[in-house]
Structure 1
Amino acid sequence: MKITVLAVGKIKERFYTDAVSEYAKRLSRYCRLEIVEVADEKTPDGAGEAMERKIKEKEGERLLSHIKDNMYVIALAIEGKARSSEELSGRLNTLGLQGISDIAFVIGGSLGLSEAVLKRADEALSFSRMTFPHQLMRVILLEQIYRSFKIQHGEPYHK
């Protein structure tokens, strides 16, 4: 199985890059992982709704340019379906059993994802109704994907 994490913006803080690297190393036993970063747009202070929509559209176009037709796309969105770790593990397992071998998780920028990206997504996943920094969300996502594979393989993992 190939897992692609498509994310808006670069990670600047070392502690985040170290965590992403650690989970990428751990995941290499279970899947091929690719992390693709696209440039984020600067949001001016006091940007109105129209400006914010335009920013999300630009970032969305960049994300969509990396999504292949055969990818199963899971958008991370507050309004998505909340799943437990066990449910996410089961969902990934089911997708694999259905012959889906190329899954992309999409993380938006500070304003979220464009309508075009949400429409392209096969499903939306919510980790919480809270908002997290997109750099931290990458770490949380990778940890949960790793936990999913550990659950699928019946391997112990701390709770």
Structure 2
Amino acid sequence: MRITLAAVGRLKRGPERELVDSYLARLPWAVLEKEVVERRSLPAEQLREREGERLLAALSPDAVVVVLDPGGRELTSPQFAERLSGWRDTGVDVAFAIGGADGLSEAVRSRADLRLSFGAQTWPHMLARVMLAEQLYRAAAILSGHPYHR
């Protein structure tokens, strides 16, 4: 299983970058990070659409797509691990998409095989990347029987 983490914005050096790198380095799966940036100053709706186009272009057409969306489904860590296990066992590639400050376009949401929520609270999109990396690591630990998830 190959994992793509496609996100709007550049994660600069600092604590968030260090945490993402630390968690991803411990994974048993290859993870390709793709960052998309729209440099033009656009109204929020146009920016969301343009970022959506760039996110979709960064995703493999054959991948299972999971988008981080506040309106998505909340999974426990063991449930998330079970999903990853199923995808791993069937040999599919998985792509995670994280939108920018204005959220995801409808086109990206429509492409999703799973809309995943980290809860009802609002999280900065850069911190959501850290949370996803940690949950990927936690899922790997659960699947391997490592005591990290206790």
TM-score (structure 2 length as normaliser): 0.93
CA deviation digits over 1:10-58, x for unaligned, max 9? 113511111111112111xx100111100045667xxxxxx32211000
Q: What residue is the counterpart of 2:125 in the other structure? A: 134
Q: Alignment identity in percent?
A: 40
SS in structure 1 opposite 2:130? helix
Looking at structure 2, the residues matched to 41 and 132 of structure 1 have their Cα atoms a distance apart, in angstroms, of 23
Deviating beyond 2 angstroms after TM superposition, the runs of 4 or more aligned structure 1 residues are 40-44
Q: What residue is the counterpart of 1:78 in the other structure? A: 70
- Is the alpha carbon distance of 1:119 and 1:41 closer, same or farther for their aligned partners in structure 2, counting shifts above 3 Å? farther
- Is the alpha carbon distance of 1:72 and 1:158 closer, same or farther for their aligned partners in structure 2, counting shifts above 3 Å? closer
Offset at residue 95 of structure 1 (A): 2.0
Contact 2:138 2:149 in 1 (8 A): no
Contact 2:60 2:95 in 1 (8 A): no
- Is the alpha carbon distance of 1:13 and 1:84 closer, same or farther for their aligned partners in structure 2, counting shifts above 3 Å? same
SS in structure 1 opposite 2:6? strand
Q: What residue is the counterpart of 2:16 in the other structure? A: 16
Structure 1 alignment gaps of length 5 or more: 45-50
Contact 1:43 1:52 in 2 (8 A): no
Q: What residue is the counterpart of 1:92 in the other structure? A: 84
SS in structure 2 opposite 1:94? helix
Question: Number of paired residues?
Answer: 150
Offset at residue 123 of structure 1 (A): 1.2
For the pair 1:5 / 2:5, whether they are aligned, the reply is yes
Looking at structure 2, the residues matched to 130 and 42 of structure 1 have their Cα atoms a distance apart, in angstroms, of 29
Q: What residue is the counterpart of 1:146 in the other structure? A: 137
Structure 2 alignment gaps of length 5 or more: none
TM-score (structure 1 length as normaliser): 0.88
- Is the alpha carbon distance of 1:53 and 1:14 closer, same or farther for their aligned partners in structure 2, counting shifts above 3 Å? same
Q: CA RMSD in A?
A: 1.6
Aligned equivalent of 1:37, options 35, 38, 41:
35
Offset at residue 158 of structure 1 (A): 4.9
Looking at structure 2, the residues matched to 42 and 118 of structure 1 have their Cα atoms a distance apart, in angstroms, of 23
